Chain A
Amino acid sequence: AQTVTQSQPEMSVQEAETVTLSCTYDTSESDYYLFWYKQPPSRQMILVIRQEAYKQQNATENRFSVNFQKAAKSFSLKISDSQLGDAAMYFCAYRALLASAQGGSEKLVFGKGTKLTVNP
């Protein structure tokens, strides 16, 4: 079964600086998707960034970028120019196929999360 590990329960960063959140995963699949989700205090889970495993280029979305190391099964999130609004729980997730479901439905397997604090 696929597993996702976030080794940093909490992180903090000064406003305007850069922070990197770590994530490792375990899978036997060769093609898959990885995600970072943000959950602010309002509790709405928001997709931050997505990486397709067959793409060698690291995904980037504005101030958010990933360092995807397929051989090492590592998928870290870098937040540049941190803002107060970036404070949230961040979850790394792996897309797993649900073999028992018709049509190849998928589920997300989540890590336990990293709480990011941004200090002014």
Chain B
Amino acid sequence: DVKVTQSSRYLVKRTGEKVFLECVQDMDHENMFWYRQDPGLGLRLIYFSYDVKMKEKGDIPEGYSVSREKKERFSLILESASTNQTSMYLCASRLQGATGNTIYFGEGSWLTVV
């Protein structure tokens, strides 16, 4: 079975802290994504990576950075957390190649910044 694992399901951080959200997939997928989900706004793409050490900005990259040192792991970094980054964060991965390949999601990480 396909598996995308987000190690932290619930986090509470203070304003100004550096926050790492980790995501690991076991399917040898090239493409990985970080989305943010907010009520009434749906899912919005923060960053994606199409391969190791490759990254591209999504629709809302401000205040975030990412790291992809190994194919299976894609980290989202909040350099200095702010209260408006309180949200649900979803990681996803996809096999590159044939268009329309299914994108698989992790279970999400709830981040509260106080």
Contact = CB atoms under 8 A, between A and B. Distances in A.
Interface of A: 4, 9, 33, 37, 42-45, 47, 50, 52, 91, 95, 97-98, 100-113
Central interface residue in A47, A50, A103, by most chain B CB within 10 Å: A103
A105 B31 contact: yes
A107 B41 contact: no
B112 interface: no
B111 to A, nearest CB: 13
B108 A91 contact: no
A44 B107 contact: yes
Of the four ranges (under 10, 10 to 19, 20 to 34, 35 or more), the interface on chain B belongs to: 20 to 34
Contacts of B100: 33, 50, 52, 95, 106
Given A98-B56, A101-B56, A105-B50, A42 B107 contact: yes
Nearest to A45: B105
Interface string B44-69: 11001011001010100000000000
7 contacts: A4-B42, A33-B100, A37-B105, A42-B107, A45-B90, A50-B102, A109-B45
